[in-house]
Amino acid sequence: MIPNRRRQQGLQYGIFLLCMQTVNYGLEKIPPATLIGIIAQTLLYTGLIQVPWNAEEVCISAVKIFKYKDWRSFFLSNFEHGSDMHLYYNMISFMLKGSYLEPIYGTANFVLLLVILSTGCSVMYVTLGYALTQLTGDYAYFTTCAIGFSATLFALKVLALCEEHDRLHNINGFQVPSKLAVWVELILIHLLVPNSSFVGHLGGILVGCLYSYTFVGRIIDNTIHAITGTPIIHEEQFYRRRNGRFT
């Protein structure tokens, strides 16, 4: 999301909705790392976690990284949100994706994977910003600042789609196959949410694709296995996709 105003602290409507939806979903159904992530990002947004920055200060852009070397933004922008509804939609999405993927991978592996994917999304965002500026001559790609967990969520969505068997997904009333679902969602969000970061969401999809479809994923899996001592076990469907076989 592109930040456009200073956030308000305290209990807002989006926070209330998030609490209600989380309780309705069932706290016992949410794996520990996912639940802690939701709570931490909510407390950060409401100001109950005191930090020496505000959301606008740590938004990420290509110019802040390449020119000003603002590494704080590189790492913190993923976990800040521009509004209560921005937080609500992202955390509900995280709850669903984390509840599916964390039990498959294991909590420790899932946490490390989140760190890697979030860092990869930051790398991809500034890389796309620089590349699009060079290709189009539009300096806005270089300077546009964004915050939020959305890019990481798009990466997780690619992983989740690769783990499950091919099926139709309902996206705003449209029935689309798994392999197209994330791209349809990218376009719909761009059209329906004008303040969303198209480049950030696209970057998240590309990071998810790098992990799911290329040797990069195997390197990440082996690295995580070496750290935690527990291998990441994927569904057979995932391996077929990564190896380029879609039968």
Q: Catalytic: 81?
A: no
Q: How far apart are CA 140 and CA 132, in angstroms?
A: 9
* H helical segments located in 77-214: 84-105, 107-136, 140-143, 150-163, 178-192, 198-213
Distances (CA, A) of 171 to 109, 144, 183: 29, 28, 11
Tokens of 144: 């546009």
Q: What is the rounded CA–CA span in Å between residue 119 and residue 107?
A: 18
- 134 burial via Cβ count (<10 Å: 0-12, 13-18, 19+): exposed
Q: From the candidates 196, 201, 212, 234, which is the catalytic residue?
A: 201
DSSP state letter for 49: S
- Least Cα distance to 74 among 145, 134, 142 occurs for 145
Please tell me which residue in 61, 73, 150, 212 is annotated as part of the active site. 150
With a CB cutoff of 8 Å and minimum separation 6, the contacts of 48 are none
> 201 an active-site residue?
yes
- Could you tell me which of 185, 134, 194, 190 has the C-alpha nearest to residue 156? 185
Residues belonging to the active site: 150, 201
